[in-house]
Amino acid sequence: MIGRREFLGAVAAAAVPSCFPSLMAQSPHSAVSDQPDIVTLFLCGDVMLGRGVDQILPHPGDPRIYEAGTASATTYVELAERAHGPIPRPVDFSYVWGDALPIIRDLPAARIVNLETSITRSARPLPKGINYRMSPDNVGCLTAARMDCCALANNHVLDWGEAGLIETLTTLEKTGIRTAGAGRNAAEADAPAALDLPGGGRMLVFALGSVSSGIPEDWAAGPGRPGVTLLADLSDRTLTRIADRVRAARRPRDRLVASIHWGPNWGYAVPGAQRSFAHGLIDDAGFDVVHGHSSHHAKAIEVYREKLILYGCGDFLTDYEGIAGYEEFRGDLAIGYLPSLSASTGKLAGLRLIPFQLRRFRLNSASRQDALWLRDTLDRESAKLGARVLLNEDGALAVRW
């Protein structure tokens, strides 16, 4: 596990963009986070705390599910145990975060995740085959990691219908966790989450969903209908509408994150339409970070005009352990992204990637061999877009551009 002092000292590895002949970086001696104008965020991909994960937490909900292969969420616990050994039950709320917990809790100014589960006791699933649900009594799992914002514009937040979505929103509101991308009506869904930053200013998080990730078209929120913020397409007209919403909400000193659920579960390709749209979010709407997710594995990283684009962050917490298929993508490996931004300009000052492996429903520090695999894979894909990924001596990854 990376110690806090080692970690903070390593954050500066990405502070000064440059080119390196080697993909092995030396640990630096000063921290980006010590600079007064720098704001560090924690970002990750899909956080799925329902189904099997919910069953090991202190207050498991009704295990009944309605899948073709099983009628109980405990099946997913059994699959994980068959693959990697016994999982204690019940665990405390911090268990699943494992070795990631001190990094998530102690360093970032804001923590933003894509929450890919409904938080509800609803017993009426939508007939879609896979339905994720976590008991509201287990929401302490999110507060244990001090989560600030949950992006909800995804293809699972309405798995248990409108009642399940409203209970999800109410539960998160009671804990003080902000939400974006879903609401009781379109105005609420479209409104950004506003997170206060140290020294003044806010981080505005706009969450957006695309049908390419599997979100049904009829999940779109309406004037009097609960739902998600669903992009009509990736056109210039859509960009203009988003830019109008940004202008209406933005204040001086605000920084902007576009958290977008798009694309299929597997594959490294970044379609031209996605790349153009991400560039437009920066050029036309003024976003500082594009936080992409939906892919079950990490995808390419781009730094465009000194602003960060993550095309796919990969899964972070799930109950997929023990399910066979697509092993070549290493979906068992998770990444915590720690971008450091200039608070005054939003420009990327540094980017650290902390690798983990999910075992027994817990995030464990990745081995050096796994960190090297991630470095090689992300460097291969990111180099196509002008970025390089390096491995530091402390086991963390750094990005150069």
Q: Is 80 exceeded by the pLDDT of residue 253? A: yes
Domains and CATH numbers, the chain: 4-11+36-388+395-400 (3.60.21.10)
Quick check: helix, strand or coil at residue 71? coil
Q: What is the pLDDT of residues 271-310, one digit of tens each?
A: 999 999 999 999 999 999 999 999 999 999 999 999 999 9
Enter the tokens of residue 106. 């102690």
Per-residue pLDDT tens for 171-183? 999 999 999 999 9
76 token code pair: 């997913």
* Residue of 190, 167, 165, 172 lying closest to 180 (CA atoms): 190
Chain-centroid distance of CA 302 in Å reads 17
How many residues would you count in the chain?
401
What pLDDT is stored for residue 6 in this prediction?
38
Here the tokens at position 93 are 């709320």
Tokens in use for 62? Answer: 């009704």
Question: Is the pLDDT at 55 greater than 50, yes or no?
Answer: yes
Angle 210-44-119 from CA coordinates, rounded to 5°: 70
- Residue 162 CB neighbour total at 10 angstroms: 16
Q: Are 346 and 253 in contact (CB under 8 A)?
A: no
Pair 295, 267: CB distance under 8 Å: yes
Give dist(CA 110, CA 289) in Å, integer. 13
Give the pLDDT band of residue 34 (cuts 50, 70, 90). low
Percent of the chain past pLDDT 70, that is, above it, reads 91
Say whether pLDDT at 16 is over 90.
no
Residues 6+ apart with CB under 8 A from 51: 65, 73, 76, 117, 132, 133, 319
pTM: 0.92
Q: Say which amino acid occupies 119.
A: I
- CA 341 – CA 38 distance, rounded (Å): 5
* Average pLDDT rounded to a whole number, residues 356-373: 98
Asked if the model's pLDDT at residue 377 lies above 90, the reply is yes
For position 36, what pLDDT does the model report?
Answer: 73
| Mean pLDDT for the stretch of residues 165-172 | 98
Report residue 14's pLDDT band, with 50, 70 and 90 as the boundaries. Answer: very low
Q: Is the pLDDT of residue 153 over 60?
A: yes
**Under 8 Å between Cβ of 168 and 119:** yes
Of the candidates 247, 274, 250, the one whose C-alpha atom is nearest the C-alpha of residue 261 is 274
User: 35 falls in which pLDDT band (50, 70, 90)?
Assistant: low
Does residue 254 register a pLDDT over 90?
A: yes
Tokens of 332: 């068992």
In degrees rounded to 5, what are phi and psi of residue 239? Answer: -60, -40
At residue 274, the 3 state secondary structure works out as helix
For 245, the enclosing helix (H) or strand (E) is helix 236-249
Q: Taking residues 360-382, what's their average pLDDT?
A: 98
Q: Residue 104 pLDDT > 80, yes or no?
A: yes
Q: Which of 155-159, 162-166, 206-210, 321-325 has the lowest mean pLDDT?
A: 321-325
